[in-house]
């Protein structure tokens, strides 16, 4: 059996040429893209007047000017700012103030840099004029304000350089737009974002002018300058956020103009936007498990501490967090419920998460996501990581107060990926771990059992007796001491006394007769479970027949959700008369009725799901002999095996049709493993238990839950006593696949070869499992770079599968196609992929109509083939469809991250960098929420560093690069100091001599696509990897790229680069070519 394995191919990275500009010769040369941009812009501005007549400025712009006037607070200044109409006027003005500047080299240098920086302001102003028909007055407020700022600051030499630096930094923060796009579709969101950016800019200018007018003297300025710098920092942060919105919306509008090319991407982006809109709804959400407990008593000190720490009225810029910690049964959950119910009107949203283990917590987040309307389809509801991420994002964005409660979070590690990062809310957790007070919470309260006085009052209140009676108080004190003041014990005993109508004086004698093992020491707090078990035994002793058998099975299932279908379907393979009642609805119902009548179990009538208290489970287990535990454990193992397919005797591929049953049984397998470890339960059949873990591990592998899959498969390997069976070979094989998917091919090859050796001893040479082993070994060779070995091994697997008419032949063809692509043979790779029987028609729908996740991998593969062939539009369409399919079927897992990266890279190649950044941000959110996501996270952050650098966002670029390198150092400590391997990179300067001629665009793209994709290949390797017929042209292309100004995609090179080949220029790394 083999899952989906995609080779990670990226687009060829490259660099752009630079050119010198005839105009503004005092300024540094601009990149080709910028020079071309200005040529078109000059034509554009000539038509602005005509366009103005067609468009009427929005009322939003007039409101922006009203805000500007308010901030300025000087009518004289308001009139004077309109005297400067353009950037050229402003630059001419700066020459007049140079002489008056203090002889400060830094200030003079900053003034010299101001011209190039203000080009970005000019770009933005041009976009406003073109898109909205804005009159000259709107742009004049920009230039006139800057002139007035410079005038005022130049006379105040102490702050002049700071003002220049602010102007430069603000300019670099503005959105990057293509001013030559006169037909950009303008919608409400884009218009509002543009106006918001414009408003922020001119209003800051106004505040700066007002500051200097209000602080004319040096001492006044010095005292207030830090406050003004803080104001600037806040403004800059707002403009960054708004600029991102502008760029994203502009990309979106641009793609709408070419729907045939971007349909799939637009569909994805629209879904992202819809999700955000759904998250913004002003509704009240609450999923508190139960209402106020009328029997709740005391604990006002704890509730007051919670109110003080978590109340929404306590304003805070950070999350408010609190931990209730203490021993089990002390009442932590009841206190949390009491607080949630008492203050439910104070919070817009109250959310409850069962956090005792990863699986139960995932179920809670799925329910919450559904409640919040974040998950619509069944696939979305089943996507645990996706639901968790959506809920966390929702909490971050929510402006109204909320509280999130993690109940029974005894293992704090479980909370690592679920803990909210920020937001206007509170987080409360109940746990036995006292360390929770320091992390993840910031405050806490140690919940203790009741003291004798309070405990006796609680007991008397529970049984409805007079608290003022001396006799009642004395008996209640005796019982409270015996139970150690534990709230749960007092509650259970109180219920028992009421049910039996026992006088208080009769309880302890009855208790002692039924608990002869309990002595004076066993009445202490730590032995409360024995007390409770004794109480429950009085109901348990009356059980018999089918009810007793069903009850004895209960500890081995996850207590909160035992679906009847598991019992009825799973028991069909037992072939034991004792358990036949489980298959009959009437008999099973009769057994349940007895348990329900004695309140030993509960049942949700709507979905036929049983539940049982954990302490009752513990009591049942303690009352069972080791032999009984062993036998019943084996029965439950066989029942749960029903939910998972056999993976070791037949090469069956993905079993996505079984996922629904697997999901039902998964929490119970997880619980079964924990119970065995906790109670040291022996195994009647180690082979059967190991096979259940193996079945479950394969499912988790297919759902990309690699960390849990690995822990279970290691447990299975330890359990198997016979290391020569097919099931053992399958377990070893799966261990290799996990290593392979986590990018450890050398490590994966070892278990692959071990599994292969076992299968060769047990099976015929033509068996499908032999072909499966060869297939996996070939995959490891491919990732190790041993391509010839991989090719030969794949051929062996194909030969076996063809000879036996295996329905798995498509898997071999797909993997061979991926190998051929790695060997830089995209056309052969396409022909190989077309041989897959299931892809016969070769349309987009062919790939995804079966719902098989492997076929989405084939779609990704074809997308990467198209990249190599230079057919980028098709590549984008295929990659986008694969992303939509994976997100729907797999949810937010590693392969979804992989597809997000592919689509983002292709959008970058198409020049839609803002949308690429948006998708990469989605990727970082997803990868950051899954334990196995660090590799994807590192790659995404590095890509973001490249994109942000291209867009002039140097601070963001530096931050992203640092995060990428930090993650890589964590994953690969031996790679410290090495160049970061990523698909987009700068090529080494190529020492070639001359350039003779250009090729047409199609041939250029084809040559670009033949380049290797990683930095670890030397220049010699680069040349040998290029096909002979393209080598001469590829060399020329490489030489063009030595004139590097910034990273440029292959598509951009084909569109933009223009060389005057008639001059046959000699190669000079220091020379700058003219832009044509």
The three-state secondary structure class of 347 is coil
C-beta of residue 234 within 8 angstroms of C-beta of residue 225:
no
Computed from CA positions of residues 159, 161, 165, 171, in that sequence, does the dihedral angle turn out positive or negative? positive
* Residue range of the domain that includes 420: 288-446
Give the end of a domain, one of 424, 446, 468: 446
Give the end of a domain, one of 204, 236, 257: 257
Tokens for 106? 């830094």
The three-state secondary structure class of 445 is strand
Q: Which of 80-94, 498-512, 816-830, 983-997 tops mean pLDDT?
A: 816-830
Nearest Cα neighbor of 275 from 287, 267, 285 is 267
Tokens for 371? 């409640």
* Same-domain pairing of 398 and 470: no
pLDDT, mean of residues 622-643: 94
What does the DSSP 8-state code read for residue 124? H
pLDDT band at 665 (very low <50, low <70, confident <90, very high): very high
pLDDT of residue 48: 38
* 326 inside domain: yes
Q: Which pTM value belongs to this model?
A: 0.62
Check pLDDT > 80 for residue 1065: no
The three-state secondary structure class of 594 is helix
Burial of 704 (0-12, 13-18, 19+ CB in 10 A): buried
pLDDT of residue 130: 63
* Same-domain pairing of 332 and 431: yes
* Same-domain pairing of 347 and 472: no
- Tens-digit pLDDT profile for residues 408-421: 888 888 888 889 87
pLDDT of residue 306: 93
pLDDT band at 902 (very low <50, low <70, confident <90, very high): very high
Among 77-86, 556-565, 1035-1044, 1055-1064, name the one with the lowest average pLDDT: 1055-1064
Among 39-53, 156-170, 702-716, 915-929, name the one with the lowest average pLDDT: 39-53
* 741 inside domain: no
* Same-domain pairing of 292 and 413: yes
* Same-domain pairing of 434 and 338: yes
C-beta of residue 1022 within 8 angstroms of C-beta of residue 1035:
no
* 941 inside domain: no
Tokens for 987? 């090529």
Helices 686-702 and 726-741: angle between axes, nearest 10 degrees: 30
pLDDT band at 729 (very low <50, low <70, confident <90, very high): very high
Gap between the Cα atoms of 48 and 345, Å rounded: 55
* 341 inside domain: yes
Task: For residue 392, give the CATH number of its domain.
Answer: 3.40.50.300
Gap between the Cα atoms of 540 and 779, Å rounded: 57
C-beta of residue 735 within 8 angstroms of C-beta of residue 710:
yes
Neighbours of 843 (CB within 10 A): 10
Check pLDDT > 80 for residue 1032: no
* Same-domain pairing of 323 and 243: no
* 302 inside domain: yes
* Same-domain pairing of 81 and 155: yes
* 333 inside domain: yes
Q: Which residues pair with 425 in a beta bridge?
A: 402
- Please list, in sequence order, all residues whose beta carbon lies within 8 angstroms of the beta carbon of residue 55, skipping any fewer than 6 positions away: 131, 132, 133
Host H or E run for residue 537? helix 528-540
Average pLDDT, the chain: 76
pLDDT of residue 3: 45
pLDDT of residue 748: 94
Phi, psi of 324 (to 5 degrees): -95, 115
pLDDT band at 339 (very low <50, low <70, confident <90, very high): very high
pLDDT band at 1036 (very low <50, low <70, confident <90, very high): low
pLDDT, mean of residues 654-672: 87
pLDDT, mean of residues 381-402: 85
Gap between the Cα atoms of 969 and 734, Å rounded: 27
* Same-domain pairing of 503 and 384: no
3-state secondary structure string, 689-739? HHHHHHHHHHHHHHCCCHHHHHHHHHHHHHHCCCCCCHHHHHHHHHHHHHH
Nearest Cα neighbor of 617 from 557, 681, 528, 705 is 557
Q: Which of 125-134, 253-262, 488-497, 641-650 tops mean pLDDT?
A: 641-650
Neighbours of 48 (CB within 10 A): 16
* Same-domain pairing of 333 and 308: yes
* 708 inside domain: no
Rounded CA Rg of the chain: 35
Burial of 45 (0-12, 13-18, 19+ CB in 10 A): middle
C-beta of residue 32 within 8 angstroms of C-beta of residue 1056:
yes
- Tens-digit pLDDT profile for residues 28-74: 333 333 333 333 333 333 333 334 444 445 566 677 777 877 777 76
Check pLDDT > 60 for residue 989: no
Instruction: Give the full edge-to-edge strand order of the sheet including 285-286.
Output: 285-286, 349-354, 402-407, 425-431, 320-325, 444-446
- Tens-digit pLDDT profile for residues 517-553: 332 223 333 333 334 555 556 567 778 899 999 999 9
* Same-domain pairing of 208 and 352: no
Host H or E run for residue 468? none
| 952 or 961, which is more confident | 961
C-beta of residue 253 within 8 angstroms of C-beta of residue 190:
yes
C-beta of residue 48 within 8 angstroms of C-beta of residue 130:
yes
Tokens for 318? 């950070």
Nearest Cα neighbor of 403 from 329, 279, 326, 314 is 314
The three-state secondary structure class of 152 is helix
Tokens for 794? 């794949």
pLDDT of residue 377: 75
pLDDT of residue 19: 31
C-beta of residue 319 within 8 angstroms of C-beta of residue 428:
no
* Same-domain pairing of 104 and 203: yes
In the chain, the number of structural domains is 3
Tokens for 139? 């742009």
Host H or E run for residue 418? none
Gap between the Cα atoms of 801 and 729, Å rounded: 20
Tokens for 821? 């692509």
The three-state secondary structure class of 292 is coil
pLDDT, mean of residues 775-792: 94
C-beta of residue 44 within 8 angstroms of C-beta of residue 182:
yes
* 128 inside domain: yes
Among 109-118, 773-782, 874-883, name the one with the lowest average pLDDT: 109-118
Instruction: Provide the CA 889 distance to its chain's centre, in angstroms.
Output: 16
Give the end of a domain, one of 203, 236, 257: 257
* Same-domain pairing of 48 and 143: yes
Q: Which of 221-230, 431-440, 772-781, 1020-1029 tops mean pLDDT?
A: 772-781
């Amino acid at each position: 059996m083999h899952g989906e394995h995609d080779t990670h191919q990226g687009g060829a990275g490259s660099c752009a040429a630079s050119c010198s500009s005839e105009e503004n010769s005092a300024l540094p040369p601009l990149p080709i893209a910028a020079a071309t941009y200005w040529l078109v812009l000059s034509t554009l501005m000539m038509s602005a007047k005509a366009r103005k007549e067609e468009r009427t400025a929005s009322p939003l712009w007039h409101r922006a000017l009203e805000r500007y006037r308010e901030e300025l607070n000087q009518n004289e200044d308001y009139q004077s700012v309109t005297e400067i109409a353009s950037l050229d006027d402003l630059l001419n003005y700066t020459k007049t103030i140079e002489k008056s500047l203090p002889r400060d080299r830094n200030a003079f240098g900053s003034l010299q840099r101001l011209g190039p920086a203000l080009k970005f302001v000019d770009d933005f102003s041009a976009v406003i004029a073109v898109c909205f028909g804005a009159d000259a007055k709107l742009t004049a407020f920009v230039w006139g304000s800057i002139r007035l700022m410079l005038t005022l600051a130049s006379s105040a030499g102490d702050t002049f350089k700071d003002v220049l630096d602010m102007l430069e930094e603000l300019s670099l923060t503005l959105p990057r737009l293509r001013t030559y796009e006169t037909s950009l579709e303008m919608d409400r969101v884009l218009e509002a974002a543009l106006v918001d950016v414009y408003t922020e800019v001119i209003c800051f200018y106004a505040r700066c002018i007002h500051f200097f007018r209000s602080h004319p003297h040096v001492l006044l300025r010095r005292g207030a300058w830090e406050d003004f710098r803080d104001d600037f920092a806040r403004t800059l942060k707002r403009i960054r956020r708004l600029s991102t919105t502008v760029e994203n919306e502009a990309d979106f509008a641009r793609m709408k103009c070419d729907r045939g090319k971007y349909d799939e991407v637009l569909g994805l982006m629209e879904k992202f936007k819809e999700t955000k809109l759904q998250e913004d709804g002003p509704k009240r959400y609450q999923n508190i498990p139960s209402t106020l407990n009328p029997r709740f008593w005391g604990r006002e000190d704890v509730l007051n501490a919670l109110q003080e720490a978590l109340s929404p009225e306590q304003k805070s810029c950070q999350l408010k967090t609190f931990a209730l910690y203490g021993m089990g049964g002390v009442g932590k959950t009841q206190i949390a419920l009491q607080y949630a119910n008492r203050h439910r009107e104070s919070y817009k949203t109250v959310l409850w998460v069962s956090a005792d283990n990863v699986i139960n917590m995932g179920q809670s987040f799925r329910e919450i996501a559904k409640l919040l309307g974040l998950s619509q389809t069944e696939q979305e509801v089943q996507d645990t990581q996706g639901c968790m991420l959506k809920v966390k994002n929702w909490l971050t964005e929510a402006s109204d107060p909320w509280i999130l409660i993690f109940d029974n979070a005894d293992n704090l590690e479980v909370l690592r990926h679920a803990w909210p990062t920020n937001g206007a809310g509170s987080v409360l957790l109940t746990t036995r771990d006292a360390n929770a007070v320091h992390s993840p919470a910031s405050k806490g309260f140690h919940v203790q059992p009741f003291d004798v006085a309070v405990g006796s009052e609680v007991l008397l209140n529970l049984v409805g007796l007079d608290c003022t009676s001396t006799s009642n108080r004395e008996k209640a004190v005796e019982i409270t001491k015996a139970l150690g003041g534990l709230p749960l014990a007092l509650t259970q005993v109180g219920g028992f006394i009421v049910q039996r109508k026992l006088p208080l004086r009769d309880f302890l004698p009855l208790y002692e007769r039924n608990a002869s093992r309990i002595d004076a020491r066993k009445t202490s707090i730590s032995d409360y479970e024995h007390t409770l078990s004794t109480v429950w035994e009085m109901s348990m002793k009356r059980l018999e027949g089918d009810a007793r058998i069903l009850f004895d099975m209960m500890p081995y299932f996850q207590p909160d959700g035992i679906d009847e279908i598991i019992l009825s379907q799973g028991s069909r393979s037992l072939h034991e008369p004792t358990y036949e009642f489980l298959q009959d609805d009437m008999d099973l119902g009769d057994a349940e009725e007895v348990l329900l009548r004695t309140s030993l179990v509960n049942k949700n009538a709507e979905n036929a799901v049983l539940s049982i208290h954990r302490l009752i489970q513990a009591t049942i287990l303690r009352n069972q002999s080791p032999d009984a535990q062993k036998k019943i454990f084996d029965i439950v193992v066989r029942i749960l095996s029903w939910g998972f397919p056999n993976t070791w005797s037949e090469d069956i591929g993905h079993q996505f049709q079984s996922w629904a049953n697997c999901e039902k049984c998964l929490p119970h397998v997880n619980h079964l493993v924990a119970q065995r470890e906790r109670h040291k339960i022996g195994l009647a059949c180690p082979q059967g238990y190991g096979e259940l873990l193996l079945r479950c591990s394969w499912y988790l592998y297919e759902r990309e839950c690699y960390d849990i899959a690995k822990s279970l498969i290691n447990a299975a390997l330890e359990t198997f006593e016979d290391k020569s069976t097919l099931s053992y070979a399958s377990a070893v094989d799966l261990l290799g696949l996990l290593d392979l998917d986590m990018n450890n091919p050398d490590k994966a090859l070892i278990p692959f070869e071990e599994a292969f050796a076992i299968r060769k001893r047990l099976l015929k040479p033509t068996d499908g499992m032999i072909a499966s082993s060869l297939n996996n070994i070939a995959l490891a060779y491919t990732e190790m770079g041993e391509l010839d070995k991989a090719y030969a091994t794949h051929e062996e697997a194909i030969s076996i599968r063809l000879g036996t008419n295996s329905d798995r032949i498509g898997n071999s063809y797909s993997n061979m196609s991926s190998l051929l692509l790695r060997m830089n043979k995209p056309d052969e790779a396409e022909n190989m992929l077309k041989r897959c029987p299931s892809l016969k028609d070769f349309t987009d729908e062919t790939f995804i109509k079966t719902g098989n996740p492997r076929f989405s991998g084939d779609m990704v593969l074809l997308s990467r083939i198209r990249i190599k062939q230079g057919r980028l539009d098709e590549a984008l369409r295929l990659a986008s469809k694969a992303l939509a399919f994976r997100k729907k079927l797999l949810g937010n897992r590693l392969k979804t991250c992989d597809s997000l990266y592919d689509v983002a890279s292709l959008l970058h190649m198409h020049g839609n960098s803002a949308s690429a950044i948006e998708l990469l941000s989605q990727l970082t959110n997803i990868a950051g929420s899954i334990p196995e996501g660090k590799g994807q996270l590192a790659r995404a952050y590095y890509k973001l560093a490249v994109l942000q650098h291209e867009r002039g966002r140097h601070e963001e670029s530096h931050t992203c690069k640092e995060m990428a390198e930090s993650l890589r150092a964590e994953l690969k400590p031996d790679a410290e100091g090495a160049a970061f391997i990523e698909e987009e990179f700068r090529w080494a300067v190529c020492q070639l001599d001359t350039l003779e001629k250009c090729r047409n665009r199609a041939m250029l793209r084809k040559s670009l696509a033949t380049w290797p994709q990683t930095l670890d290949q030397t220049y010699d390797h680069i040349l040998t990897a290029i096909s002979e017929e393209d080598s001469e042209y590829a060399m020329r292309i490489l030489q063009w790229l030595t004139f590097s100004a910034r990273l440029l995609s292959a598509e951009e090179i084909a569109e933009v680069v223009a060389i005057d080949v008639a001059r046959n220029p000699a190669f000079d790394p220091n020379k700058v070519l003219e832009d044509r």
